[in-house]
Structure 1
Amino acid sequence: MAERFDDPLPWTGEIAAPLRLFETAVRAEWIDDYQHVNIAHYLTICDHANWAFWNWINAPEGTIGARGGHEYIIVENHVHYLDELALGTPIHVTTQLLAHDAKRYILFHRVHRADGTLAATNEVKCLAFDLEARRPEAWRAPVAGRLAAIAAAHGGLETPPQAGAGIALKRR
């Protein structure tokens, strides 16, 4: 069965800095034996934010079929796990566009509890992809224009400290 994604928000031309396109309460299927969100489901939460962003910048074409197979794929992810999330906890994800070019973009998601506590961050690099040809492509013109508008709106935001971080053991 295909996963159901939340209804896309309409494109109005208003661009918040950062965006807030996905909010929910922690779902039972995300909880593990320790009674908190399983490590993998922090990516699930952020993937809902990826889809919310993608559907928003493609509105009113809110489905794969409506877009004729012109989609995106994720080529890189990095998650920082900062705090636990329990069943039913109200959460929202803020999204910042860090960079983009003719066929890629980098988003930075912050997963917050309703009280403002930062629970996780996720940096994700996405690539424009033609599902029929099974190969990368340039963004379609409407998407490219909206990415440029979002980049302008997000240009004044500070780069998150976790952005661009890799995994390493530091010597003391």
Structure 2
Amino acid sequence: MSAENLQGQLYRSAPIAMEKEWIDYNGHLNMAYYNVVFDRGGDEFLAELGFGPKYAAERKLTIYTAEVHICYVQEIHLDHIVTVTSQLIDFDAKRLHTYNEIVHQDGWVAATAEVMSLHVDMNGPKVVPFPDDILPTLDFYKQAHSKLPLPARVGRSIGIKRK
């Protein structure tokens, strides 16, 4: 894919169906399973960036999640089908900053997740720089995704605002 073809587009996962065990006693997706949905869709994006299961198995390098900020926007129910969109916000030698949304098949956003991930040598485990052959893909996505608007929920913090 070229940056011109990707310009203005987020990465979108395959459709994800809800599972009965994920639904809580309130009749909607339990908060823990929003993480499962984000993880499944996010793993697809990580594989697109070059960090899939083969990368981990062959190189003994992988991505660990360091921090996640989730906003629950709208309830998801058992009969819903969603996708996860992903945007590479930034990266440095050892970290990825991504933003993801769970999007219902009808187009509305159910939840958002801002994620800081670390590149890890599994033999340590310890945080290590990305290999040189991965950097062009990261540069490609950062350039393409930088043409998109910065999502409003990026950089938010939690707190009770006092006057």
Tell me which of 124, 147, 153 is aligned to 1:156.
147
**One-letter identity of the residue aligned with 1:35:** G
Alpha-carbon contact 2:41-2:83 (below 8 Å) kept: no
Tell me which of 81, 84, 101 is aligned to 1:110.
101
The alignment-based identity, stated in percent, is 27
Aligned to 1:51: 43
Aligned to 2:18: 26
Answer yes or no: is 1:125 the counterpart of 2:108.
Answer: no
Deviation at 1:26, TM superposition (A): 1.4
The list of structure 1 runs, each at least 4 consecutive aligned residues, that deviate by more than 3 angstroms after superposition, is: 12-16, 59-63
Aligned to 1:171: 162
Alpha-carbon contact 2:65-2:117 (below 8 Å) kept: yes
**One-letter identity of the residue aligned with 2:50:** N
Distance verdict in 2 for CA 1:22–1:78, change over 3 Å: farther
Please report the TM-score for the alignment, with normalisation by the length of structure 1: 0.86
Tell me which of 41, 47, 50 is aligned to 2:33.
41
Superimposed CA distance per residue, residues 14-65 of structure 1 (whole angstroms, 9 cap, x where no aligned partner): 6462110242111222211111110111111111122111222227863631
Q: Which runs of 5+ in 2 are unaligned?
A: none
Alpha-carbon contact 2:51-2:62 (below 8 Å) kept: no
Larger helix fraction of residues: 2
Deviation at 1:136, TM superposition (A): 0.6
Alpha-carbon contact 2:90-2:96 (below 8 Å) kept: yes
**One-letter identity of the residue aligned with 1:131:** M
Q: For this pair of structures, how many residues does the alignment match? A: 160
Q: Which aligned pairs between 1:43-122 and structure 2 lie closer than 5 A? A: 43-58=35-50, 62=54, 64-66=56-58, 68-122=59-113
* SS of alignment partner, residue 153 of structure 1: helix
Distance verdict in 2 for CA 1:141–1:15, change over 3 Å: farther
- Partners in 1 of 2:21 and 2:47 — Cα distance? 24
Superimposed CA distance per residue, residues 96-126 of structure 1 (whole angstroms, 9 cap, x where no aligned partner): 1111111101110011111111100000000
- Partners in 2 of 1:120 and 1:46 — Cα distance? 9
- Partners in 2 of 1:60 and 1:37 — Cα distance? 27
Distance verdict in 2 for CA 1:122–1:22, change over 3 Å: farther
**One-letter identity of the residue aligned with 1:39:** M
| Cα RMSD after superposing both structures | 1.8
- Partners in 2 of 1:128 and 1:113 — Cα distance? 30
Please report the TM-score for the alignment, with normalisation by the length of structure 2: 0.90
Distance verdict in 2 for CA 1:131–1:25, change over 3 Å: same
